[in-house]
Amino acid sequence: MTKLYEYELFKSANILMRDMLKLKPDETIVITADTESDERVVNAAAAAAFALDAKPLVIWTPSPRGVGKAADPMLPVEALTAVLCEVDAWVEFNNQWLLYSTPFEIAMEKNKKLRYLCLVGMNADMMVRVIGRINIQLLSEFLHKVADMTARAKHVRITTPAGTDLEFDNEPGYRVSCDDGDASQPGIHMLIGQISWIPRFESINGTLVFDGTVLPPLGHLKEPIVLKIEKGRVIDIKGGSQAIEFKTWLESFNDPNMFRLAHVSYGFNPEAKLSGNVLEDERVWGCTEWGLGYLSPMDAPPDGIPAKSHCDGICLNSTVLLDGVKVLENGRVVQPELMEMVKDLGF
C-alpha cells in the first residue's frame, strides 16, 4: 500500500527550505523535476518555500535518456541555463539528473550566489525518512567529527565481510567533503549523511567487492562483484552475470580512465536503506562507496580525472581503520568518542 505521509512530507519540506537552505523572504528558488520525479515532493517543496515568503519557480522537463552531460541533447540548454544563472537557490529532484550537465556547469561557474542542493530521484517515502526523521544537528556534529578524523589520517584500510580488503594513503592536497545538511552557502550541496574524499590514486591497492548497489548501470546486486585494484586502477572483474554486464559497460566507453577509482565515501544517514536510488543507497549507515571514472577538477585540482562517465559501487558493513585505529567494524561505530555521539542517533 502506498503511504500517504502528507503530514510528514510537509514537515520534511519545511526542514529542507527553512533549516537546510535557510531560504529568506524574496529569494528566488528554482525547483527542477522531470517526468520521472515525484510530484508530491515537488509540490511540498514549492509550498514550503512560498510559506517562507520566497519565490519558488518549478521547472518540469521530459526525462532525458541519460544523466549529466549525456542529458544535454534532450534539454532546453540555453533557456534552462539562463534561469539557473539568475536564481538564489536550486533544488534538483530530477531522476535523470542535471548534475554535471552543461546548464549545471555554466550556472555553477557564472552564478556566484547560487546554492544548489542535489536531491535527485527523491520520493515522498525517502524524503520523510532521510530528511524528516533525522536529528540534523546531532548527525552534523557526528559527521564533522568523522570527517576531521579521516582528514588527519595518513593511511586507510577498508575491509568488508564480502571480501573487500583495500589500502591507500590519503592525499593532503584534496579536501574531505562532508554532507552535513547545511545548504545555506553558495556552492554544491548533497543530501545529508555522506563523507567523501579522494585518496592518492596510485596508492590504492587490494580487492574491492561491491555487494550493495552499482549505479549506473546495474542497480541492486544479486551477487557480489569482485574487482582487483592495482595502483588505483581496476585490473580484473569477477563474479556472475552482473559482473560481466558491468565490465562490458565500462569497456563500452573505450576510455581507460573509466577503470580508475575516483573517490571513496562513507554512508552515515541513520534512516537510509537500500532502495535502488543511489542517493539513498550510498548513505546506508556503515557502508563505504567507491566512485569510478570522471572526477571534477574542482574536487581534485588541477586535472581531476577526465573520463566519459562516472559510476558508484557500494560495499556494505564496512570495517575502517584510520592509521591502524578501528573506527567502524562491520558497519558499526566502534571508536569510543564516536560511539558516545551516535547513541542518540539510535545506534
Q: Which residues bind Fe ion (CB under 5 A)?
A: 291, 312
Sequence length of the chain is: 347
Cis preceding-peptide flag for 64 (omega within 30 of 0):
no
Minimum Å gap between C-beta 310 and Fe ion is 6
Cβ pair 225, 243 in contact under 8 A: yes
Task: Decide whether 180 or 312 has the Cβ nearer to Fe ion.
Answer: 312
Minimum Å gap between C-beta 156 and Fe ion is 17
Task: Decide whether 211 or 289 has the Cβ nearer to Fe ion.
Answer: 289
Q: Which residues of 71-100 are buried (b: 16+ CB within 10 A; e: fewer)?
A: beeebeeeebbebbeebbbbbbbbbbbbbb
The three cell numbers of residue 5 are 505521509
Rounded CA Rg of the chain: 20
Name the region of 53 (left: φ>0; alpha: ψ -120 to 50; beta: rest): left
* Single-letter code of the amino acid located at 70: A
Task: Decide whether 280 or 312 has the Cβ nearer to Fe ion.
Answer: 312
Minimum Å gap between C-beta 299 and Fe ion is 10
Task: Decide whether 27 or 312 has the Cβ nearer to Fe ion.
Answer: 312
How many angstroms separate the CA atoms of 295 and 263, rounded? Answer: 8
Minimum Å gap between C-beta 130 and Fe ion is 18
Enclosing H/E stretch for 315: strand 305-315
How far out from the chain centre does Cα 269 lie? 11
Task: Decide whether 54 or 118 has the Cβ nearer to Fe ion.
Answer: 118
Residue 340's Cβ-count burial label (10 Å; 0-12, 13-18, 19+) is: exposed
How many angstroms separate the CA atoms of 65 and 70, rounded? Answer: 8
Minimum Å gap between C-beta 107 and Fe ion is 21
* Single-letter code of the amino acid located at 29: I
Task: Decide whether 5 or 116 has the Cβ nearer to Fe ion.
Answer: 116
Minimum Å gap between C-beta 336 and Fe ion is 31
Minimum Å gap between C-beta 312 and Fe ion is 4
Task: Decide whether 279 or 341 has the Cβ nearer to Fe ion.
Answer: 279
Task: Decide whether 181 or 291 has the Cβ nearer to Fe ion.
Answer: 291
Residue 297's Cβ-count burial label (10 Å; 0-12, 13-18, 19+) is: exposed
Minimum Å gap between C-beta 50 and Fe ion is 33
Pairing of strands 332-333, 325-329: antiparallel
Minimum Å gap between C-beta 335 and Fe ion is 25
Task: Decide whether 115 or 263 has the Cβ nearer to Fe ion.
Answer: 263
Q: Which residues of 126-149 are buried (b: 16+ CB within 10 A; e: fewer)?
A: bbbbbbbebebeebbebbeebbeb
